[in-house]
Amino acid sequence: MEKSKAVKRDSITTAKILSDALPHMQRHDGSIIVIKLGGHAMSSPEAMASFARDVVLMRQCNVNPVIVHGGGPMINEMLKKLDIPSEFVNGKRVSDAATVEVVEMVLSGKVNKSIVQAINGQGGRAVGISGKDANLMVCTQAEGDLGLVGDPHTVDATVVQSLINDGMIPVIAPLGAGANGETFNVNGDTAAGAIAAGLHADRLLLLTDVEGVKDAEGDVITSLTAEQVEQLTRDGVIAGGMIPKTQTALDAVRGGVKAVVIMNGQQENACLLELFTTYGAGSMIRA
């Protein structure tokens, strides 16, 4: 009898959650959501399968997810196997010709196709491309002695929009083309922000390993304007690795993205919590 009551309570709770999600689904109906997927979500088959399920559910609800992924740990592993030294300056990988060759092989090959396979395995229709395809991202060389590290100069999201219109889920490796035929390694957050702006996306979700932007007391700030982000940075409250993420968010909202959310991608169903519940997840930054 007690077991029957527990099942009934669980079923009622589930029904209530689904009912409460309706207005959020309606709000995001037909919208484009760009998701920056980091290595943490690919740390295990279980984590990857959970993320893929969320993405397929989003598409089933007529939300259009676009995945831009990283793959730093996988690149490090391959460089180590090939005995190619790796160096970082201000969080960016110094990329000579040999390094970029490995980066392209790992990102466009192993990592990209594993994400595509995971999404397709959950019933989705994912297609893997890189920023080089159809000149999606044409880059200039980044400042500093970083080698073939690129900053997006122009973004032509036509190919991504075409995939969305055909009901596909684009999965994009952060590589860019140079004006002279070079291949550029692009920071994953930077690439996601540039592509989101090029699509005029409704949301950019930056999945990280922290809960969001925190105030001086260490509490997560759930909502910020661009001006507040700049002030917190000047005050030293936003510091370290959070600076490039918030800078990506500022560039994105000023480029036409309605809002950027910095959130903990290690939390199960994080994307669904952000989009389809009143609670949200992480820190939302608006223009």
Active site residues: 36, 39, 72, 189, 245
| Cα first-last separation, the chain | 54
Q: Is 178 annotated as a binding residue?
A: no
What is the rounded CA–CA span in Å between residue 42 and residue 50? 10
Q: Is 256 annotated as a binding residue?
A: no
Instruction: Provide the β-strand partners of residue 35.
Output: 67, 205
Where are the alpha helices (H) located in 82-111, listed in sequence order? Answer: 97-104
Nearest to 172 by CA among 74, 72, 68, 70: 68
Half-sphere exposure of 123 (CA within 13 A, CB side): 8
Question: Helix 45-60 vs helix 112-121: angle between axes, to the nearest 10 degrees?
Answer: 60
Q: Chain centroid to CA 219: how far?
A: 23
Q: Is 71 annotated as a binding residue?
A: yes
- Give binding residues for substrate as ranges: 71-72, 93, 185
- Give binding residues as ranges: 71-72, 93, 185
